[in-house]
Amino acid sequence: MSSTDLGAFTRRAALRAGATDAQLRAPALASPFHGVRTRVMPVTHLDRALAYLPRLRPWQLFSHLTAAKAWGVPLPARPEEDDPSHVAATRPHRPPRTRGVIGHTLAETDRVERRGVPVTGAASTWIALAPLLSARDLLAATDHLLFPPRAALEANGWRA
């Protein structure tokens, strides 16, 4: 799914394009974040990250659990519906503060794109996960980040 599939757009952009306040308050549109509207309410971490993209600033990226999900890291099973998105801002910028988001501040960090969203690099994501996971779950995350799944290697023409 992409932000286009979700129909994610900012309220400001819609008003500039000619939409009315009444249209933007219609029950057919979901509001996963302040100032963002979508055709459907995103449920997973990745869908919420995609929905947040129209609001994301150039100095922001996804981190912690949201980055881990974009990296495909195996995490302990738990319902994702109410999990907030983790959005980090690089210094000197302030982290976002809005409903559904946990903001973080990072020193300059590596920025990569995974599954259509900008996220922290593998090492930074792993460091952010360390205090959040048990030792066993962190080991599984480490294995995933250090040793790509066999299918990914073979897709690039490498032998596992």
- The pLDDT mean for the chain works out to 85
User: In this structure, is residue 160 part of a structural domain?
Assistant: no
* In-domain check, residue 155: no
Give 52-73 pLDDT, tens digit per residue.
Answer: 999 999 999 999 999 999 998 9
Assess if residue 19 is contained within a domain.
yes
Residue 158 lies in a domain: no
pTM value is 0.83
Residues 148 and 56: their CA atoms lie apart, in Å, by: 28
Question: pLDDT by residue (tens digit) across 74-111?
Answer: 888 876 667 899 999 999 999 999 999 999 999 877 89
Is 32 a domain residue? yes
With respect to residue 156, please indicate whether it lies within any of the assigned structural domains. Answer: no
144 Cβ neighbours under 8 A, 6+ residues apart: 71, 72, 73, 74
Range of the domain at 78: 3-149
Q: Determine contact, residues 37/6, Cβ cutoff 8 Å.
A: no
**Total count of domains within the chain:** 1
